[in-house]
Amino acid sequence: MTTPNSEFLKTMSERGFIHQASDLEGLDKLARDGRIVAYVGYDCTAPSLHIGHLLSIMMLHWLQQTGGGKPIALMGGGTTRVGDPSGKDETRVLRSVEEIDANKDALKGVFAKFLKFGDQASDALMVDNAEWLAPLNYIEFLRDVGRHFSVNRMLTMDSAKLRLEREQELSFIEFNYMLLQAYDFVELNRRYGCNLQMGGSDQWGNIVTGIDLGRRMGAKDQLYALTCPLLTTASGAKMGKTAAGAVWLNEAQLSAYDYWQFWRNTEDADVARFLRLFTFLPLEEIARLEKLSGSEINDAKKVLATEATALLHGREKAEAAAETARKTFEQGALASDLPTVEIPRAELDAGIGILAAFVKAGLVASNSEARRQIQGGGLKVNDEAVTSDKASLAAPNVVAGVIKLSLGKKKHVLLKPV
């Protein structure tokens, strides 16, 4: 297929979302008539989704926005109890049902920022696969579902193959994950007429296994697969990882300011691509920003940061983050709405080591990393470079009620004694 006829696949193509598809022409016809019912699954392994999940959330958004059909956000209350081995070198830690349920509740709020939920035909649904997976009878599941799976074929899937090639353990419970994900597709088709599963390219094997299972179990519709690329930056780094860890979507795990800063620090070569994928800006405006060069590329980065942050945290917080950055970097001011970490006053009065202070602030992950930053002149206290890893902070370092800690020119945290 050259140019899609449906607005949905046209948008997917123009904005760079398509990596693989099982039948683009068939999907295009469904989308043109608004008859796609598509789902993406999200396991509840943490109290927040991270930026790696955002690409598939945007796919669900554009499906709904373009009139292509109905999106389903599937919460993995059941599959999280098993753990997806895809892309992992070691067995996932098994979580309690209570922890999974708590994580699931914490994840839900993000979707309302990108999808419209309700009772209309095109309104999004949020369902939990624990509804059908938790009550399963194991013997019946093996007879009804397991008999359709070839172990020989399962061993060729990347999620199993890579572990075995590296002689790393693949537990039996993880080996069953692809059965459960495939069964999700069948069950969603039965219950909601779901005919498309979307996800990252690492899920391709699991998705097409679901298509095959649906055919074998008599699914009433033809099932489809559509995956987006797993993004890396222009320099080859995995997108969404920083020195401090994952880029979380919930504000409890990552402030709106730090989220804005993540996008502001985008590599020059990635700005236009990320504007297409992670903002709602019209393509014409993105094309204009793409032409900026030299120092002007920083203006495009600020637009990316503000627009991406506005989608997740709201326009007010996005513009506040932009203003905080402007005051901090352009005026050198101590902006009061920089990220703040509280420290017991008694601990500060006793003197806290400089390494421990930067770790506590979340600017570095370990003492050894802090030492390396000091050697390179990367750490500052109240805008003064730290020259010794033996230094400590105490009450005299407090200015206007806080101590400003900085990593490089762009990351700042206020340490506040309480």
User: Which residue in 238, 288, 326, 345 is the catalytic one?
Assistant: 238
How many whole angstroms separate alpha carbon 102 and alpha carbon 390? 41
Set 19, 241, 380, 416: catalytic member? 241
Catalytic site includes residue 19: no
Least Cα distance to 250 among 56, 60, 107 occurs for 107
Name the residue with tokens 């109890």.
Answer: 81
Identity of residue 88: K
Q: Which residue's entry shows tokens 């905080």? A: 324
Q: Could you confirm whether 241 is annotated as catalytic?
A: yes
3-state DSSP call for residue 89?
coil
CB 36 within 8 A of CB 27: yes
Q: Is 88 a catalytic residue?
A: yes
Catalytic residue among 32, 50, 161, 302: 50
d(CA 410, CA 415): 16
DSSP 202: G
238 is catalytic: yes
Q: Phi/psi at 39 (nearest 5 deg)?
A: -130, 155
Euclidean distance between CA atoms 240 and 287, whole angstroms: 24
| 390 among known catalytic residues | no
Of 65, 79, 181, 309, catalytic: 181
Distance of alpha carbon 85 from alpha carbon 308, whole angstroms: 30
Tell me the DSSP string of 25-42: HHHHHHHHTT-EEEEEEE
- Whether residue 181 lies in the annotated active site: yes
Active site residue 279: no
10 is an active site residue? no
53 catalytic, yes or no? yes
What are the start-end ranges of the E strands in 183-244?
196-200, 224-228, 241-242
Residue 46: closest CA among 96, 103, 87: 103
Q: Can 302 be counted among the known catalytic residues?
A: no
Catalytic residues: 45, 50, 53, 88, 92, 181, 202, 238, 241-242
